[in-house]
């Protein structure tokens, strides 16, 4: 049973109905470039960055506690996402030939400014970790990122921003035995 709404019902001025129904907001060609870039980054990480940058101890109690385990998981997930983007681009490339849509969302000054503020926030985050500790720095960074992303519900935002860094800290310090910078909270945690 097809429950598609008629085009007149879902069309909004300045936006195509296809965009509202969940198709990719990028052109297939740019999706393909992004997908190939993500796949190349994942392969570089798996083949070169992890072996060159992570020293493995001689004896490992568990594969899950290996210093290379989580970076490998992240790079494998990145590889899967890149392949998914490539497949979507190839599929939408075939579909775009039968439809006449521009497919690109306009880059506004606000979205560009938000992206630059986020990147600047990452630099500040890296810089303050050693002074205020990774838990507080991560909490503040998550709140800032969620505000930039348009999150308006304060309770879920605060719960996520506080509990996620705290849970990560507890896991890495107490389970995986990996020291984390605590900054001013060194005496309490």
Of 87-101, 109-123, 174-188, the poorest mean pLDDT is in 87-101
Of 60, 76, 98, the domain-final residue? 98
- The number of distinct structural domains making up the chain is 2
Task: Catalogue the long-range contacts made by 73-81 (C-beta closer than 8 Å, 24 or more residues apart).
Answer: 74/45, 75/42, 75/45, 75/46, 75/49, 75/50, 76/42, 76/46, 78/38, 78/41, 78/42, 78/45, 79/38, 79/39, 79/42, 79/43, 79/46, 81/38
pLDDT for residue 75 is more than 80: yes
Mean pLDDT of all residues in 107-130: 88
Does the predicted TM-score (pTM) go above 0.85? no
Q: Which domain holds residue 114?
A: 109-185
Q: Which range is most confident: 8-22, 54-68, 96-110?
A: 54-68
Query: Residue 188: its pLDDT value, please?
Result: 72
**Is 3 domain-assigned?**
no
Of 98, 128, 153, the domain-final residue? 98
């Amino acid at each position: 049973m097809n429950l598609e709404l008629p085009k007149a019902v879902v069309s909004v001025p300045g936006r195509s109905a296809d965009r509202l129904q969940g198709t990719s907001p990028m052109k297939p060609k740019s999706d393909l470039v992004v997908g190939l870039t993500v796949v190349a980054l994942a392969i570089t990480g798996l083949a070169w960055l992890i072996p060159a940058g992570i020293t493995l101890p001689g004896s490992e109690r568990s594969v899950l506690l290996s210093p290379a385990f989580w970076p490998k998981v992240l790079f494998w997930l990145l590889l899967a996402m890149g392949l998914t983007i490539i497949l979507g681009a190839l599929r939408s490339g075939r579909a775009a030939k039968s439809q006449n849509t521009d497919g690109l969302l306009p880059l506004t000054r606000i979205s560009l400014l938000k992206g630059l503020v986020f990147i600047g926030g990452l630099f500040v985050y890296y810089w303050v970790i050693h002074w205020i500790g990774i838990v507080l720095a991560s909490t503040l960074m998550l709140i800032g990122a969620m505000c930039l992303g348009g999150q308006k519900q304060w309770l879920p935002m605060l719960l996520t921003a506080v509990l996620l860094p705290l849970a990560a800290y507890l896991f890495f310090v107490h389970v995986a035995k990996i020291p984390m910078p605590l900054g001013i909270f060194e005496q309490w945690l």
